[in-house]
Chain A
Amino acid sequence: MIYDYLIAPFVEFAFMRRALVGTLALALGAGPVGVFLMLRRMSLVGDAMAHAILPGAAIGFLVSGLSLFAMTAGGLIAGFVIALGAGVVARATELKEDASLAAFFLISLAVGVTIVSLKGTNIDLLHFLFGSVLALDDQTLLLIAGITTISVVVLALIYRPLVLECVDPGFLRSVSRAGGPAHIAFLALVVMNLVGGFHALGTLLAVGIMMLPAVIARFWARDVTAMILVAVASGAVSGYAGLLLSFHAGAPSGPAIILVAGVLYAFSVLFGRVGGVLRQLFPGRHLEA
């Protein structure tokens, strides 16, 4: 009975297994990236970047249809251009980075949707916006796994400067020049993970598997390492449970995954050990010292 509900779908259907592998890989790569985005107070930057990727992928789609390579390359290029462009505008003018990013991503979203609508069908547009996790082919899986591998390795390499730049940027600059390059490498990871997520979950939801687990982790852990572990775990649980939900209830799979993450988030807000609502309302008797 339990087996039928929880395991059988993955045993019986290859597309479910592939979807599971894809989402687990995404959770492993995007979770830690999301944690750092949140700690750097850039939670909405992920959202903006996800939109920014759309026109790139759309141009790739225009040039060679639903080709993995073309759409990935387009998405990556667009993401990097926007990240760098927003950074340059922010440094060269009075505009702050968040405002210039907002300008850039709104324009790219409009361009992206226009391109897809003019040339493709509504189905294509849906694919772009919400992905198709149940139709991951070998190439796409390899791409996602590759992106995850790169991001775990790169994060390990830039971990110290990344943490230090959040806590005490003055100190980091006084001991090392690694802050700038680490920041750029980190932005590259954000773009890559969003492009990976785009194939499975679409541009709108890709950022969900990145940010929701990170925000959930904030309610359960007090230090960065534990936060990363909680984020990866909750991303993985959301992926697994979301796929089951979509299988049994016939819900669209991408949104189902993000919905499960949303439920976990709501639960964490209420019952989270670190600063959850219940904890704030009933902190327990105060301690002796």
Chain B
Amino acid sequence: MSAALAFHDLTLGYDRHPAVHHLRGEVKAGALMAVVGPNGAGKSTLFKGIVGMLKPFSGGIDLCGLRARDIAYLPQVADIDRTFPISVYDMVAMGLWRDAGLFGGIGRREREKVRAAMSAVGLSGFEERPIGTLSGGQMQRTLFARLLLQDGRVIVLDEPFNAIDAKTAADLCDLVMRWHAEKRTVIAALHDLDLVKSMFPEALLLAREPVAWGATKDVLTVENLLKARRMCEAFDEHAEACAA
């Protein structure tokens, strides 16, 4: 199978400190891959690199022929200003950006698509609600509806199941499996290791440096997890410049 994403000795970070250090490897097209690791392991940083929000310090990411717009991205909910006066409908309709862009009109066909996406995540009837009134789970459903509209070949999910109830998580997992069945490439950052083991065939364990990458059962071993924890706690304010 061909690759959807390839990391060429990728180093990403902030203020010269690497948050993802010398990552090499590729994600197969159609893969369903979990990125796991302690807080601060570089999961979100890697995703920001993939969607082009962060320039690599060195190395690069090969989109393997895909354009940036083929990647659909779910940011962490914490990055969203929930007090902004915008309705659920408008929030979901942002997913049409690729078709509508800056000025494109939203016609009857598009409106139909938005309604379909909202009903697919169980949010019919919420169209006019301001996003500030949604619960955590409803907000996450809204963002998944937006992802549905984006119709990305690669879907990057940053902690999609954090702080939501079991029912919502199950519904959203169904969507992820649907994307997988449609041969889309799905990469998700997760903390729930049981969920990773049951749902994701492939996993990348990250602790700034890649600790292990491959079949989930080989990656999520006790030794690997311990190693990841130790590596992650080693931040050095006065680190030397990296020679590699």
Contacts and interface: CB of A to CB of B under 8 A. Distances in A.
Interface in B1-28: none
Contacts, number: 68
Given A161-B102, A175-B69, A175-B97, A224 B85 contact: yes
B94 interface: yes
Interface string B91-134: 10010011001110000000000000000000000000011000
Contact of A157 (B71, B86, B91, B103): B103
Interface string B68-95: 1101110110011100111100110010
B158 to A, nearest CB: 8
B53 interface: yes
A174 B79 contact: no
A256 to B, nearest CB: 31
Given A175-B97, A222-B85, A227-B85, A170 B102 contact: no
Interface residues of B, number: 30
Contact of A223 (B79, B94, B101, B130): B130
B214 interface: no
B136 interface: no
A200 B150 CA distance: 47
A47 B150 CA distance: 39
Contact of B85 (A160, A161, A178, A221): A221
Interface string A35-50: 0000100000000000
B86 A171 contact: no
Most buried by B among A157, A163, A175, A224: A175
Contact of B91 (A167, A173, A221, A222): A167
B73 to A, nearest CB: 4
B52 interface: yes
A170 B53 contact: yes
A168 B80 CA distance: 5
Contacts of A224: 85-86
Contacts of B75: 168, 170-171, 174
Closest 3 CB pairs of A and B: A170-B75, A174-B73, A174-B51
Given A157-B102, A167-B131, A174-B72, 19 more contacts: A39-B84, A160-B103, A167-B86, A168-B75, A168-B79, A168-B81, A168-B91, A168-B94, A171-B75, A174-B51, A174-B53, A174-B71, A174-B73, A176-B102, A178-B102, A222-B85, A223-B86, A224-B85, A224-B86
